[in-house]
Chain A
């Protein structure tokens, strides 16, 4: 164990001990924060997966990914508005139908958007100097944010509260207030992540993706269609980000055009924390960072949360660049 690893574990351990102390002293407050954190973390995990998959396969920080997530939420707002009208009843069948339409619509649309971005902005630069795709990624991020800005201006967009809510759909267990949507977010994310895991491990395309991430040239020699595999990676990443956007909208009911910048960076931090390129790592990292953010909001103050999160980002890279679960690092 190196000095860096040691420092990393000492810091993690300190954080855990402090939190455990809180848990003992104020158990119900702690549990309440835990619920928020899990819900946030589930969404970060969904977005982080897209970052980690793309980085794993073409070593690009896809800055536009956070904005694809936001665009998913925007599309969701529009589609829901169309199908559910303005009904925000606590529970209705039409809301359920709207949800069933919104999820696939937003996800597929984002998949298409992300494939287009890859095709137009990244593929032509695959062999260019490193900086070039990075700048187009930032440009694409600005472009998407610009589109949403034109759409809604600087104003908050309301996302209808379609999930069952109100009396009968929440409960208090041991002083902890839990709503239906808290459970929904975590369960939906868990289902999506499991589907992804099955896909990556079982399907032919999933195997091709793993092989390409390992060694692109060798995969090409083995007859894997690299362009298609990379496009598929962007597509799947965007499916998850789109779903994340819809879920975020349903959970918070309010979005702005620049939501993706901050959320994207936090999700990216999650991916780094879990070990960038590592898919289970991203899911785990998302949960950990979501919890960290919630605890930081509650115990340190929300204005410090950003400092804490990016402090973690720097700390991880300095002390343990392979992240929590380790990444594929070629020996130089």
Chain B
């Protein structure tokens, strides 16, 4: 990880990012810049390569080529845990909670990187470990309250209702104290009412000074909340700009043709 020429405004900068699976170009030379404190949306039909782009940013996949700069550092090819430590947190399109752990424990796992307890501290339950545990439990409860599911604190994650599971995933991601939060279709399967509530939550997250990078299928939803949108189709960036412009773009309409949006 070396220093990159810093653009102070941008928190994430992708340069010609490409990910190839055998013959399939899932992400094809995509460049984009996300500014600090904005909501940036990534849209596109199914299979466009949106999730793959997230995976390439967070180190789940090593990009075939291209560069990822986060907060002034080149993080191309970093391991997922290193990326998380630096301050990128994410949720998953198909919810990936720790099913047989309680909600509060799920969030506490998110605190892992910001905790200091070493093996010896834990083995002998040294006072500083106990205090840290107490503090982290408090913080985890606070986050559950923040996303509005505190009453499920002691339930197994798998027993939470679907919508609350999505919220729990967000709380867990927030627990890592990210500078940038990647949300992969956080409103998938939501009723319109739930979607509105979710967008409220995203606004609340913004007020914490966290930049949000959002994948969403529902165009309308995205229009309401994000300053800028990038549209992906067959791995390629086909449009970029403020919502009103993107909506009128001919290629975007074509890509979405046959879809309700």
Contacts and interface: CB of A to CB of B under 8 A. Distances in A.
**Contact between chain A and chain B defined by CB under 8 Å:** yes
A331 B61 CA distance: 9
B124 interface: no
Interface in A282-332: 331-332
A119 to B, nearest CB: 29
B80 to A, nearest CB: 11
Contacts of A332: 60
Interface string B52-89: 00000000110000000000000000000000000000
A284 B212 CA distance: 53
A5 to B, nearest CB: 18
B120 interface: no
Contacts of B60: 332
Q: How large is the interface on B (under 10, 10 to 19, 20 to 34, 35 or more residues)?
A: under 10
A129 to B, nearest CB: 11
Contacts of A331: 21, 61
Nearest to A332: B60
Interface residues of A, number: 2
Contacts, number: 3
A331 B60 CA distance: 10
A331 B55 CA distance: 12
Contacts of B61: 331
A331 B20 CA distance: 12
A190 to B, nearest CB: 34
Nearest to B62: A331
B253 to A, nearest CB: 32
A332 B21 CA distance: 12
A246 B4 CA distance: 68
Nearest to B60: A332
Interface string B92-110: 0000000000000000000
A332 B61 CA distance: 8
A303 to B, nearest CB: 40
A331 B21 CA distance: 9
Nearest to B61: A331
A128 to B, nearest CB: 14
A164 to B, nearest CB: 53
B44 to A, nearest CB: 22
A151 to B, nearest CB: 44
B100 to A, nearest CB: 11
B4 to A, nearest CB: 27
Interface in A63-107: none
Interface string A32-52: 000000000000000000000
Nearest to B22: A331
A47 B30 CA distance: 50
B81 to A, nearest CB: 14
A332 B59 CA distance: 11
A332 to B, nearest CB: 8
Contacts of B21: 331
Interface string A241-278: 00000000000000000000000000000000000000
A331 to B, nearest CB: 7
A30 to B, nearest CB: 44
B61 to A, nearest CB: 8
B23 to A, nearest CB: 14
A332 B60 CA distance: 8
B92 to A, nearest CB: 14
A215 to B, nearest CB: 14
Interface in B14-65: 21, 60-61
B155 to A, nearest CB: 21
B36 to A, nearest CB: 32
B77 to A, nearest CB: 15
A224 B61 CA distance: 32
B90 to A, nearest CB: 16
3 contacts: A331-B21, A331-B61, A332-B60
Closest 3 CB pairs of A and B: A331-B21, A331-B61, A332-B60
Interface of A: 331-332
